[in-house]
Structure 1
Amino acid sequence: MALTIRLSRFGTKNEPHYRVAVSEARSRRDGDAVEYLGSYNPNAKGNPLTIKLDRFDYWVSKGAKPSDTVRSLVKRSKKAAVAKA
């Protein structure tokens, strides 16, 4: 079972919100997820991504591959967390 960490869309038309989901690679984008790690709101000001970084690292250590978008969002989030501390 190959797992991916990707964005799953919810929200209304012209008002997108996304969940960061760990799901099977062959499942639908909005299909059933193994675990939800956080959310992403592209219209929010400040930090639009809220994610459990410890769970993200856990799933990556177990072999889950993050999508390019999730990888860049997490990288930006980690950089902001280091700058904040």
Structure 2
Amino acid sequence: MVKLRLQRTGTKHDPHYRIVAANSRAPRDGKFVDIVGHYHPAQIKEQTTFHKEKILTWLKNGAQPTGTVLNLFKNAGIWAEYKTALKK
């Protein structure tokens, strides 16, 4: 199963995360299929960038987001857009 999850990058005490589509059995920082965004939580205002088209494509193909990634998608409005696309 493919999951949309965070992959930690950056240095000690300054984490950066990639939002990746990866096999659920792969290690957290291991192989991934596609990069769909970035998340930097340590900034005063959290910085997130998303490739919305890629994310919606992965979700429509059955990829499952993890809890944290789901919350990021909800805050950005991507999850609501995906749900309305499903109803059509």
**Shorter-chain TM-score: which interval?**
0.7 to 0.9
Note the residue ranges of structure 1 that are not aligned, 5 or more in a row.
Answer: 80-85
8 Å Cα contact 2:20/2:32 also seen in 1: yes
Query: Normalized against structure 1, the TM-score is what?
Result: 0.86
Runs of 4+ in 1 over 4 A off after TM superposition: none
Q: Give the whole-Å Cα distance in 2 for the aligned partners of 1:45 and 1:74.
A: 19
CA RMSD between the two structures: 1.3
Partner of 1:83: none
| Shift of residue 64, structure 1, vs aligned partner | 0.4
Partner of 1:33: 32
Note the residue ranges of structure 2 that are not aligned, 5 or more in a row.
Answer: 79-88
The one-character-per-residue Cα deviations of 1:29-74 (angstroms, maximum 9, x if unpaired) are 0011100011000012335110111111110110100001001001
1:29 aligned counterpart, secondary structure: coil
Q: Give the whole-Å Cα distance in 2 for the aligned partners of 1:68 and 1:61.
A: 18
Query: Normalized against structure 2, the TM-score is what?
Result: 0.83
Q: Give the whole-Å Cα distance in 1 for the aligned partners of 2:2 and 2:62.
A: 7
State the identity %.
35
